[in-house]
Amino acid sequence: MFNLPIFLMYCLSEIDFTKLIANEKNGRLRMRLLTLSHVKDGASNAQAARYMKVSRRSVNNWVKRFKKEGIDGLKEKPRSGRRIALSNEQLQQLKSYVLDNNIKASGGRLKASLLIHYIKDNFDVEYKISNIYRLLHHLDLRWITSRSRHPKQSEEVQETFKKIQNRNDRSDLTEL
């Protein structure tokens, strides 16, 4: 082992980093946990920095914050920037609107431009499209869509089409 304080080695040995890393969704926190895992396994801060391709100073800061605050010290701190213009109640109303209207019965999907109009009409706040995506991310929603259903789409016609034999079917090849 290297010149790590006994207190730090004791703290590191008590933590199961593999479980923490596997359960963590935040990539930056996973990287910090993996770095501390290297330190726990006996790597120096400089070696851990080389393994993770980050600066030694970053590793030193992470270790220092871990010693001072534990795992919580490794989490992202709130950043400065413009605050969300909607209240918590408005955010919840927007989230329920998105969840209720994301798939339309007539076919098609909810678009960001429609959300801009909804927010403007209901909350009298203006957003640009890029901020709509940021707002959806804040609400733990992702703008991932599957293929839309055509309004005239018929399950019965699709099933009938699937039963039509063609040259590539296995049953045709075995008869030759």
Q: Tell me which DSSP letter residue 14 carries.
A: T
Q: What is the pLDDT of residue 105?
A: 61
Reply yes or no on whether the pLDDT at 107 is more than 60.
no
Arithmetic mean of pLDDT, 140-166: 76
Beta bridge partners of 103: 109
More confident residue, 147 or 38: 38
Mean pLDDT over all residues of the chain? 83
Helix/strand/coil (H/E/C) assignment for every residue in 43-100: CCHHHHHHHHCCCHHHHHHHHHHHHHHHHHHHCCCCCCCCCCCCCHHHHHHHHHHHHH
Arithmetic mean of pLDDT, 2-11: 52
Q: What is the pLDDT of residue 175?
A: 56
Q: Are 109 and 53 in contact (CB under 8 A)?
A: no
Which residues lie below 8 Å from residue 71, measured CB to CB, with a gap of 6+? Answer: 15, 20, 33
Arithmetic mean of pLDDT, 156-175: 73
Q: What is the pLDDT of residue 140?
A: 87
* pLDDT tens column, 69-84: 888 889 988 878 788 8
User: What are φ and ψ of residue 87, in 5° steps?
Assistant: -75, 170
